[in-house]
Amino acid sequence: MGNTLLHSPQIENIWVTKNDERKAWKLFLKRKDKKYSFTDCVSFVLMRQLGIKKYLACDEHFKIEGFKNSITS
């Protein structure tokens, strides 16, 4: 599965930069009341930077942050 994800022409891998990490950490500290994981915050930062508005996950944190579920919308 890992090789498929890393080498598939249909999948674009996005690498996190130090600046992305800093932005995610700021968001993580800002949203302590939401119980987001740091990984959630990294995803939110990258999605906003890339203009991604829909997600495919069972995690309701994306909805709370204003993203739309690909399955239900």
- Residue 73 confidence (pLDDT): 62
As a 3-state breakdown, the chain gives helix, strand, coil percent values, each rounded to 5, of 55, 5, 40
Rounded Cα gap, residues 45 and 40, in angstroms:
9
- In tens digits, what is the pLDDT along the chain, a chain of 73 residues? 888 888 999 988 899 999 999 999 999 999 999 999 999 999 999 999 999 999 988 889 999 999 999 887 6
Instruction: Assign 8 to helix, strand or coil.
Output: coil
Q: What angle do CA 10, 17, 9 make, to 5 degrees?
A: 10
Q: Containing H/E element for 68?
A: strand 68-69
- Residue 41 confidence (pLDDT): 98
